[in-house]
């Protein structure tokens, strides 16, 4: 106790305490600043990023690498942005059920909070497309006619003019767009999943993307007023069906006539 009291009365004790206090204060300030900086840069909290990293290591690192740098089984995710994760995980395409020409939609494996946390972690690795805001997804502000024009020019060659989907090369395909949420359609346009090209703002503006979504939701709500869709392939498929069915009826009638006793 005597030795301790002597150290307290040492002339440098006050200086040491002051320096210690400054170091602790500075350290706390830097830690808080880094947290705020990370949140400002990504829009997510440090807690979300931390939890997202844990989910990533447990569920995604096998294919994409511990640091999301990519492996032979999966591409790098650095710079793909939160929107890519929200689309791929939110539609059930990731984690992949099996290797194939492209990831297929299936039941979603994570809840909304976990998807947000995974998005936060990937977004913290590098700048990339963010999850779209509600205003660009508001179809009440969209123009269906203009969206139909944009869709036919940029999307119909793969997704079909009626958005019914279509086959591509080597086992790949463009999926049907009925039943896909507004958010996921927008995210697909800005991230280019699978074989789809990226449509950034210089290609299709945010307002035009909203118009496209408005068009898709309108034709989805209309259903098929003309009867059976026949794959929504248009008059070629309908004509082929009529020709095949009609020819079959003629052949059957001919066989029936010739089989009758004279």
Class of domain 134-237 as given by CATH: mainly alpha
User: What's the pLDDT tens digit per position in 15-40?
Assistant: 666 677 667 776 665 654 444 444 44
Domains 45-125 and 134-237 agree in fold: yes
User: What's the pLDDT at 167?
Assistant: 87
pLDDT tier for residue 95 given thresholds of 50, 70 and 90: very high
253 against 9, higher pLDDT: 253
Q: What is the pTM of this model?
A: 0.72
Distance, CA of 32 to CA of 34 (rounded, Å): 5
- For 167-204, write each residue's pLDDT tens digit: 898 889 999 999 999 999 999 999 999 889 999 998 99
Q: Which residues are annotated as part of the binding site?
A: 60, 63-64, 155, 158-159
Tell me, what's the pLDDT at 14? 66
Q: Is the pLDDT of residue 6 over 90?
A: no
**Mean pLDDT in the chain?**
84
Give the E-state strand segments of the chain in sequence order.
166-167, 173-174
| Confidence at residue 16, expressed as pLDDT on a 0 to 100 scale | 65
% of the chain residues with pLDDT over 70: 78
**CA–CA separation, 197 vs 159, rounded Å?**
13
Looking at CATH, the fold of the domain delimited by 45-125 is given as Cytochrome Bc1 Complex; Chain D, domain 2 (1.10.760)
Give the residue ranges of the annotated binding site for heme c. 60, 63-64, 155, 158-159
Minimal CA–CA distance to 147: which of 232, 207, 197? 207
Q: Domain residue spans in the chain?
A: 45-125, 134-237
Question: What is the pLDDT at residue 182?
Answer: 97
φ, ψ at 256 (rounded to 5°): -65, -40
Q: Would you say residue 129 has pLDDT above 90?
A: yes
Between 177 and 244, whose confidence is greater?
177
Q: Which residue has the tokens 């346009």?
A: 189
Of all residues in the chain, the percent with pLDDT exceeding 90 is 56
């Amino acid at each position: 106790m005597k030795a301790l009291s002597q150290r307290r009365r040492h002339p440098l004790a006050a200086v040491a305490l002051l320096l210690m206090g400054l170091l602790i204060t500075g350290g706390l300030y830097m830690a808080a600043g880094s947290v705020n900086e990370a949140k400002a840069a990504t829009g997510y909290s440090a807690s979300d990023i931390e939890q997202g990293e844990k989910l990533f290591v447990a569920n995604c690192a096998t294919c994409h690498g511990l640091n999301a740098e990519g492996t032979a089984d999966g591409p790098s995710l650095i710079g793909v942005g939160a929107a890519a994760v929200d689309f791929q995980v939110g539609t059930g395409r990731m984690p992949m059920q099996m290797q194939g020409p492209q990831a297929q939609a299936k039941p979603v494996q994570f809840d909304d909070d976990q998807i947000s946390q995974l998005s936060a972690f990937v977004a913290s690795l590098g700048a990339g497309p963010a999850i779209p805001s509600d205003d660009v997804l508001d179809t009440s502000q969209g123009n269906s006619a203009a969206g139909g024009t944009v869709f036919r020019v940029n999307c119909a060659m793969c997704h079909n003019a009626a958005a019914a989907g279509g086959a591509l090369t080597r086992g790949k395909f463009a999926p049907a767009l009925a039943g896909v949420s507004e958010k996921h359609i927008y995210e697909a346009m800005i991230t280019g999943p699978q074989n789809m090209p990226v449509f950034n703002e210089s290609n299709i503006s945010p307002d035009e993307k909203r118009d496209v979504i408005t068009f898709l939701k309108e034709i989805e709500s209309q259903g098929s007023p003309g009867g059976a869709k026949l794959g929504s392939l248009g008059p070629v498929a309908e004509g082929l069906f009529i020709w095949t069915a009609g020819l079959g009826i003629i052949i059957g009638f001919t066989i029936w006539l010739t089989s009758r006793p004279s």
